[in-house]
Amino acid sequence: MKPFFRLIPIAVAVGLAGCSSDQMMLQRKVDYRSGSDNVSNNTLEVPPDLTAPASNPGYVIPERSNTVSLATQTATKGGASAAVAAPVPNTATTGILPASTKAKMVEAGGQRWLVVQGDAKKLWPEIHQFWLDNGFLLKIDNPQLGIMETDWLENRANLPADWVTKLLRKVADSFISTGELDKFRTRIENGSQPGTTEIYLSHRGMQEVYKDNGSTDTSRLGNETSDSKTIWVPRKADPELEAEMLALMLQRFGMTPEQAATVVKKPANAAVFASLNDDATALKINDNYDRAWRRVGLALDRIGYVVTDRDRSKGVYYVRRAAEDIGAEETTSFFSSMAFWQKDEKKKAAPSKDYEVHLQEGVNQTTLTLTGKDNAALDADSRNKLLSALLGQLR
């Protein structure tokens, strides 16, 4: 796909003196349906530009008659600290929601997740349908591991919503692109409160760039030559985009669009810092075990490690990352390298490596260490690479 074509609607629209600036404003922050070929795979009967999906009032968090500080709710190592419905000031973990709403978004250390009443077995098909209704297909759909992962899609909300763009999309939609792709991973765990489930969501992105003599360049978009080549490379995870999708999911579980918008606008708490220990063989996370467990799980999702199993009581994540060529010129090769569960002898991906991430509760902090499979010693290069990636997400 030539990036030049992506600039056609923008250039034409800017050249029209009569266009209102309001027409150029993006009408939505999230729109994967209108650019998806997967929409026919679901039965959603609403216009594709409708902001709010159908809500399900059957999923609610029980109301609490009084306000309790988080300090009194922090459980032992195997438990979790849950935010009450009414916001509690000056705490590291807060429930973000209007007072009249029974759905809940929780935040700790700048990271967010949802708490919904009901067990994972009941919620699983609802979350599965949520992704289908938003235009995605699921590349991973594993109830045993509690993990869903979508395919790659383009967020068409990043395109101008003016009439010129809409006209061009009717006649040449395949040539108009934002040059960015997104995918989402959903991890589902039993909640700290009986009868609740915690839902974690992480984003991964790709960006189309030029490749010249082994290097990449994003500054030449729109100035390509006939022999220019573009490739897809990873871009940073977008926490605000994660929050947008969590807000849409909250609407699915009963929150109104106005309430969900309030949730998204809430400022993130200051991140709780993490650092390497003196000999750079472990991470020191300045947070209690319960919140550290959640934050490490989200960090692993964001850096591309697949959680194949976990034992919260023992403080162990069992993770795997398949070898992947992030500079691959075809997204199919990127998918193939991530599809570690497929037994296809024709795939040329290098063998996957298995790791164990151990969390140990201390006094006002949690220590993170790494080993190989079955607690085997890990070589320094692999350990340093994974610790560095986790530190980038946790500090």
Within 10 angstroms of residue 202's Cβ, the number of other Cβ atoms is: 24
pLDDT tops 60 at residue 40: no
DSSP sequence for 321-366: E----TT-SSHHHHHHHH-TT---TT--PPPPEEEEEEEEE-SS-E
What secondary structure letter does DSSP report for 284? E
Residues 6+ apart with CB under 8 A from 266: 96, 107
> Domains in the chain and their CATH numbers?
1-270 (no CATH), 271-395 (3.30.310.170)
Beta strands in the chain, from DSSP E residues, in sequence order: 93-96, 104-108, 111-117, 138-142, 147-150, 180-190, 196-212, 215-217, 230-235, 274-276, 283-285, 306-311, 316-321, 353-361, 366-372
Q: Which two tokens stand for residue 143?
A: 């109830």
C-alpha neighbours within 13 Å on the C-beta side of residue 67: 8
Residue 348 has pLDDT above 80, yes or no: no
Element (H, E) at 19: none
- Closest by CA to 303, choosing from 179, 185, 181, is 185
Contact 395, 273 (CB under 8 A): yes
* pLDDT value of position 193: 84
Question: Which position has the higher pLDDT, 3 or 35?
Answer: 35
pLDDT of residue 364: 84
Burial label for 280, CB within 10 Å (0-12, 13-18, 19+), is: middle
Q: Tell me if 307 sits within 8 A of 301, measured CB to CB.
A: yes
Q: Which residue has the higher pLDDT, 244 or 215?
A: 244
- 384/304 Cα distance (integer angstroms): 16
pLDDT value of residue 389: 93
pLDDT mean over 251-265: 84
The answer to whether the predicted template modeling score (pTM) of the entire model surpasses 0.85 is: no
